[in-house]
Structure 1
Amino acid sequence: MIYKVLLFNLSDPSKESLMRGKTTELLTSVPGAANVTFRRAVGQGDLKYRYLITVDFDSMQAHDEYMVHENHVRFSKEYFRPNISELLIQFFE
């Protein structure tokens, strides 16, 4: 199993609801993507990242197919990339 973790900040925090909705709407419908989550950090103060998206895959091949799927491409181009200010992506097994 491959676990993809995206830690990020929104350039405009008022877009949180939009991002949460589009994450659920577009990414959960991509074949091979499982356990898609969108979360906000708890706590106050100087946090490096305030938001988290996780997606699980059976393999890196499933991830590669997810990356070119039309719903992921749309999410990335129309919603994710235009609205983030910092990003860290890591994979775990």
Structure 2
Amino acid sequence: MDDVEDPAVEDPAGGYYTVAVEAPVRGRVRRLVASLAGAIGTGLGIYDQSAGDLVIRRRADGAEASRIDGGPPEELALTLQTMREQLENLTAADFEDRWSIEA
């Protein structure tokens, strides 16, 4: 019997996933609550408004695999850089584990 390996075990995650910054997806009530919380928190100096969501998509079909709040611009930039490095250096299986992606 031949050993059939799952390509995701050894191939870099970048062959299977992409990551991008996208506008948050929220309903009317969530947008209102987020705006109020952001305004109050920013006024108190304890919250910077989110610069967007980090969205991981499957290359095969463009489906959204994961979406996280990117946080303030500096945090978003650092997380995006980390994710891009991981796409190049981690296997798809390891990347999925790190970002709680269900294959």
Calculate the TM-score normalised by the size of structure 2. Answer: 0.28
Structure with the bigger percentage of helix? 2
Instruction: Name the larger-Rg structure.
Output: 2
- Identify which of structures 1 and 2 has the higher relative contact order when contacts are C-alpha pairs closer than 8 Å and 6+ apart: 1
